[in-house]
Amino acid sequence: MAEPESPEYDAEPPTSAEDDDDVGPISRTFAVPVEDVTAPPGTLNLASEERPRIFLVDYGSSGFKEKELSKIEDCAPYIDNDSVTWIDLRGIGHTPTFEQLGKIFKIHPLALEDMTNVPQRPKAELYPQQQLFISTMVTLCDKGEIQTEQFAILFGKGFVVTVQEERDVDCLDPVRARIRNNRGIVRKMGSDYLAYALLDAVVDGFYPVLERYGERLDELELGVLKANPTTSSKEIFAMKRELLHLRRAIWPLRDVLAQLLRDESPHIKDETRRYYRDTYDHAVQIMDMVETFREIASSLMDLLMTGASNRLNEVMKVLTIVSTIFLPMTFVAGVYGMNFNPDVSALNMPELNWSWGYPFSLLVMIASVLSLLMFYRARGWIGQPGDKAAWSPAAKRPVRKRGTTSRTRRPSSRPPPPRQTS
């Protein structure tokens, strides 16, 4: 089998910024990339033959242009200009399109393979003429659903190529709006700044998702603290699993940004590098929020198990009290149920022939029940205030959204001190 032809240019092995000790990639289906192990490195293995949607954004000092392309070859006239060209491919499919993309932009075969094989671990790779970022984009959809996808950014001199796994959902609209409306300095900077803006939008896309997770944690906590909990361990475990996926997405991305700050890249200007430091700070903050939410989810699981154990203890307590109350009654009924004949001997239950024998036995049973109840209450085993709804007061406390750092000071109820007069 003949190997696929590579673009004719000198290429060096990539310099990877990934750390092999971290957790693997995030995926909605938890699948491992299915690759042909017999194929040579750099071979495209696309499962779908559906053409991706191709969008072009070209801007510079002369103007701005945005349109959707029918085929990848239509972007060729915009590449050699002095403007910055952004090619956004939405959807991974149709092998000829990506092969032609590699020829037009002279993309290294290994880089093209990383951009199209899903899922990949977030990483950064340096090539002689280009820089590649692989990240995980997390998007909060209109219906409240959380969607994750792989997002690849490849940029070089005068161009940026992005490949999205999904066709219709992303979190890049703020960047598009800034370019259209000429807000900020994005249209005054080069392709490295556009790559930063896209990566920063991906990182900032975690914030609304984490806010949604904070609201769900509050709902789960209220469900756990109810007298009859409405939250199940399955829901808490699903929350912990989703938070683990977010951690797998943001942890290696934070390491990628730290690597960019430590090691200089010839494709990123010093003027742009300081902006990456701000993105790194956001990634660290998101990582802290994810870890905090995971700890809260773990504590909710412990709280749920503790509440279930306490409720079981309450049930056992009630059953034990009922059984001990009926124990003397059962003893009295058992004694008089032995049916000894009093005519044979005067010692064989003479009270059976007593006219008040039956009322006396009932009185003994009632007295034993009342005496046991008084004894249990005196010892504090029953009738304690708050036993009926031990969890209810905590469930009625106000809810504050998690993930917020601002705090408001409550007004003091104490009167101000008297003013001293000289």
Q: Read out DSSP for 52-113?
A: PEEEEEEEETTEEEEEEESSGGGGGGGTSSSSEEEEEEES---HHHHHHHHHHHT--HHHHH
Choose between 29 and 95: higher pLDDT.
95
Q: pLDDT tens across 343-363, in order? A: 788 778 777 778 888 888 889
- Out of 145-149, 247-251, 349-353, which region has the weakest mean confidence (pLDDT)? 349-353
421, pLDDT greater than 60:
no
- Average pLDDT taken over every residue of the chain: 80
Judged against a pLDDT cut of 60, whether residue 326 lies above it is answered with: yes
In the prediction, which pLDDT does 322 show? 87
Q: Are 290 and 246 in contact (CB under 8 A)?
A: yes
Q: What is the pLDDT of residue 41?
A: 77
Taking residues 191-196, report their average pLDDT.
93
Burial 268-295 (b: 16+ CB within 10 A, else e): beeebeebbeebbebbebbbebbebbbe
Query: How do strand 159-164 and strand 84-90 relate by DSSP bridges?
Result: parallel
| Percent of the chain whose predicted confidence (pLDDT) is above 70 | 81
Q: How far is CA 184 from CA 5, 155, 181, 194, 269, in A?
A: 42, 20, 9, 12, 18
Q: What is the pLDDT of residue 38?
A: 63
Percent of the chain clearing pLDDT 90 (strictly above):
25
Q: How much is the pLDDT for 39? A: 66
CA dihedral over 339, 341, 346, 352, signed as positive or negative: positive
Read off the DSSP letter of residue 152: E
Architecture of domain 15-305: 2-Layer Sandwich (3.30)
Predicted local distance difference test score (pLDDT) of residue 111 = 92
Of residues 398 and 90, the one with the higher pLDDT is: 90
- Determine the Cα–Cα distance for residues 305 and 153; give it in Å rounded to an integer: 45
Residue 175's pLDDT band (cuts 50, 70, 90): very high
Q: How confident is the model at residue 68 (pLDDT cuts 50, 70, 90)?
A: very high
> Which has the higher per-residue pLDDT, 36 or 75?
75
Predicted model pTM: 0.70
User: What is the reported pLDDT for 284?
Assistant: 93
At 58 the pLDDT is 92
Q: Distance between the two ends of the chain, CA-based, in angstroms?
A: 102
Mean pLDDT (whole number) for 390-398: 44
Domain ranges within the chain, ordered by starting residue = 15-305, 336-384
So what's the pLDDT on residue 317? 87
